[in-house]
Amino acid sequence: MVKHNVKFHQLSYREMEHLRQFRRDVTKCFFLGIISIPPFANYLVFLLMYLFPRQLLIRHFWTPKQQIDFLHIYHDIRKKSHPEVLSYLEKVIPLISDEGLRWHMTELCTKIRRGTHPAIQEILALRKSFSNHPLGMNQLHASQIKALSRAMLLTTYLPSPLLRHRLKTHTTVIHQLDKALAKLGINQLTDQEVKSACYLRGLNSTLIAEERCRTWLAEWLQISCNLKGESRNEDE
């Protein structure tokens, strides 16, 4: 990519997705490589991989049962952050300057509390709220950055500036993937690719029928492709 001056967002959807997953896998492999350096440490590494396969092994080495079990575990981690994210949204409603946006945000939070899925237009009506104070990425408190990081399965054990940067990068990558997927077409994806795409975006797709996943992903793209992406792009 560097040799040919090709940026991440210029790749096809599948190339972008493979590269994204490769980067995650390399991180795990790098950690294992580091702890394997001392003499005879490789024996300890094998033991650790056996005891902690979810944390240390890449998905290709998980058994089919482990894949399902681990995805459920990861989704449970995401769900635990949802109440905190919602509570923060409710807390900052009085700080939103636009009266119409305040009303829409109140209605949205109320629907979510009741377990009702908001309509696409209801979500898009609030997009301006997340560009400025108090919900713009640069204005979020450290606790909210951590909650959003957990919701996206990103580590929270970093200083706040790095957490914010990583969250921005992660959301930018997903938005670029969305644009590439919209260009490709959901109908071009296999059932497994659809389920993986849904899971990455927050839906626990392990127990949901393929058609429902495709419908959900199409609705997600309607929202994402109507949002303004980050001005910066991946340089790789």
- How far is residue 177's CA from residue 13's CA, in Å, rounded to a whole number? 6
pLDDT in the model for residue 65: 93
Token pair for residue 62?
């998980």
Kindly provide the b/e burial profile for residues 116-150, where b requires at least 16 CB atoms within 10 angstroms of the residue's own CB: eebeeeebebbeebeeeebbeeeebeeebbbbbbb
Indicate the pLDDT class of residue 4, thresholds 50, 70 and 90: low
Task: Report the chain's mean pLDDT, rounded to a whole number.
Answer: 90
Q: How much is the average pLDDT of 3-17? A: 83
Q: Which two tokens stand for residue 52?
A: 């902690």
| Separation of alpha carbons 24 and 33, rounded Å | 15
CA dihedral (71, 72, 74, 78) in degrees, to 10, reads 130
Q: pLDDT tens digit string along 152-199?
A: 999 999 999 999 999 999 999 999 999 999 999 999 999 999 999 999
pTM to 2 decimal places = 0.86
pLDDT confidence bin for 231, thresholds 50/70/90: very low
Confidence of residue 29 (pLDDT cuts 50, 70, 90): confident
CA 101 to chain centre: 25
Two tokens at 38?
Answer: 């001392």
Distance of CA 120 to the CA centre of its chain: 19
pLDDT value at residue 34: 86
Cβ contacts of 193 within 8 Å, gap of 6 or more: 17
Of the pLDDT bands very low, low, confident and very high (cuts 50, 70, 90), residue 227 is confident
- Kindly report, residue by residue over 71-127, the tens digit of the pLDDT: 999 999 999 999 999 999 999 999 999 999 999 999 999 999 999 989 999 999 999
Between 41 and 136, whose confidence is greater?
136
